[in-house]
């Protein structure tokens, strides 16, 4: 069992705040993803859990035991780094075995443990090779196997897929998802890739400038973003955001007029997702010239400019039109999200 409690932890370097008042309980066997742009504090949070950084304030508890003052080696966590961190002079077998040797595990059990870990990540045919003879995806799997062989209470993964090409990211992501189910170990995973977060996580923590913006399941965060930042960060493409005015329940901006919105009058940011709108022949609430079109295979992405915003809508894959041709876009008011124009906070339901 490994329940992790982060009680108002923070990290400061002088006047710079890296992480501010992070308060969360991570359930036993939960797969939690820390998501956000570079410099948001997600890796610093993970390093404080691992003991590689000291928390300036707050407490870190593992199964109720405060671990702030414990050495990293005593916290029973295994970390997978972005850079793989393999020993170039050792073959794959010995790289995987290395944690067992360092921790003084009974040598008679090493071979069974190493081969079990290597089988889990499909490395049995590469145990004799050195890291230099492996592809990036294979090296990452060695790093995963080296973490697995320790059988830790907690897995920490710091952007493990960022050095891989797109195809390898997809296959390795699937492997990590399957491993998390098979191993059933509490896992904290850091990434700036929202697709990784949405596909892997039981819960996602979205961070910005050291502050938690929202915590929830991928579905919760996608369907009900807490603020405009979260809305713009989650989704591919990101949620369309348009600034305008609401008066009498009607939102107006250049090229846009959407009625049936039950919020007070004033300046507001309206959001909707590309798949929640439709291209119509006429009569839509948005009428603007086409800025660009992209064939995605299963759909055509039609984009228009509204003020300084690029608004995208998914049309049928057979939809055809010319750039600068006026297109009519229909979006139902119940599919709209409204955010305070000043704070970015969600407004209404």
Report yes or no: 4 and 65 within 8 Å, Cβ to Cβ: no
Q: Are strands 277-280 and 326-331 parallel, antiparallel or unpaired?
A: antiparallel
CATH superfamily of 237-347: Nucleic acid-binding proteins (2.40.50.140)
Share of the chain above pLDDT 70, in %: 99
pLDDT: which is higher, 147 or 40: 40
210 pLDDT exceeds 70? yes
Report yes or no: 155 and 188 within 8 Å, Cβ to Cβ: yes
Per-residue pLDDT at 66? 94
160 pLDDT tier (thresholds 50, 70, 90): confident
Identify the three-state secondary structure at position 39.
coil
CA angle at residue 336 from 266 to 313, to 5 degrees? 120
103 pLDDT exceeds 90? no
Kindly report, residue by residue over 106-123, the tens digit of the pLDDT: 999 999 999 988 988 888
236 pLDDT tier (thresholds 50, 70, 90): confident
1 pLDDT exceeds 70? no
Kindly report, residue by residue over 12-26, the tens digit of the pLDDT: 999 999 999 999 999
Label residue 157 exposed, middle or buried (CB < 10 Å: 0-12, 13-18, 19+): buried
Report yes or no: 77 and 148 within 8 Å, Cβ to Cβ: no
Label residue 65 exposed, middle or buried (CB < 10 Å: 0-12, 13-18, 19+): exposed
Report domain extents, the chain. 4-228, 237-347
CA atoms of 322 and 320, how far apart (whole Å):
7
CATH superfamily of 4-228: P-loop containing nucleotide triphosphate hydrolases (3.40.50.300)
Structure tokens at 8: 């108002």
pLDDT: which is higher, 136 or 323: 323
CA atoms of 127 and 237, how far apart (whole Å):
41
Kindly report, residue by residue over 276-326, the tens digit of the pLDDT: 999 987 789 999 999 999 999 999 999 999 988 999 999 999 999 999 999
138 pLDDT tier (thresholds 50, 70, 90): confident
Lowest mean pLDDT among 70-79, 206-215, 283-292: 70-79
- Which residue, 210, 188, 196, is CA-closest to 79? 188
Label residue 158 exposed, middle or buried (CB < 10 Å: 0-12, 13-18, 19+): buried
CA atoms of 84 and 161, how far apart (whole Å):
10
105 pLDDT exceeds 70? yes
Q: Give the mean pLDDT of the chain.
A: 92
């Amino acid at each position: 069992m490994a329940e992790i409690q982060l009680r108002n932890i923070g990290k400061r370097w002088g006047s710079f705040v890296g992480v501010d008042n992070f308060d969360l309980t991570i359930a036993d066997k939960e797969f939690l993803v820390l998501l956000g742009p570079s410099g948001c504090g997600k890796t610093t949070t993970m390093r404080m859990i691992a003991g590689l950084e000291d928390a300036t304030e707050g407490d870190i508890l593992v199964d109720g035991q405060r671990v702030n003052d414990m050495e990293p080696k005593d916290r029973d966590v295994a970390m997978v780094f972005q850079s793989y961190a393999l020993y170039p002079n050792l073959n794959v077998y010995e790289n995987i075995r290395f944690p067992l040797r360092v921790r003084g595990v009974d040598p008679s059990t090493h071979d069974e443990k190493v081969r079990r870990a290597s089988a889990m990540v499909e490395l049995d045919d590469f145990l004799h090779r050195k890291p230099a003879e492996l592809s990036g995806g294979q090296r990452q799997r060695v790093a995963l196997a080296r973490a697995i062989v320790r059988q830790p209470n907690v897995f920490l993964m710091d952007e493990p897929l960022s050095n891989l090409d797109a195809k390898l990211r997809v296959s390795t992501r699937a492997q990590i998802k399957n491993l998390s189910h098979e191993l059933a170990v509490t896992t904290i995973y850091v990434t700036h890739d929202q697709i990784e977060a949405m596909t892997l996580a039981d819960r996602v923590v979205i961070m910005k400038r050291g502050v938690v913006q929202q915590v929830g399941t991928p579905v919760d965060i996608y369907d009900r973003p807490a603020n405009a930042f979260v809305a713009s960060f989650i989704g591919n493409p990101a949620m369309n955001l348009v600034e305008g005015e609401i008066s009498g329940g009607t939102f107006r901006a250049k090229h846009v007029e959407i009625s049936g919105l039950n919020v007070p009058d004033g300046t507001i940011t309206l959001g909707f997702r590309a798949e929640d709108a439709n291209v119509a022949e006429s009569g839509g609430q948005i009428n603007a010239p086409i800025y660009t079109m992209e064939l995605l295979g299963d759909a055509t992405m039609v984009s228009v400019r509204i003020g300084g915003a690029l608004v995208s809508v998914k049309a049928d894959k057979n939809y055809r039109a010319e750039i600068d041709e006026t297109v009519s876009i229909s979006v139902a008011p119940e599919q709209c999200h409204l955010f305070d124009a000043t704070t970015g906070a969600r407004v209404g339901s």
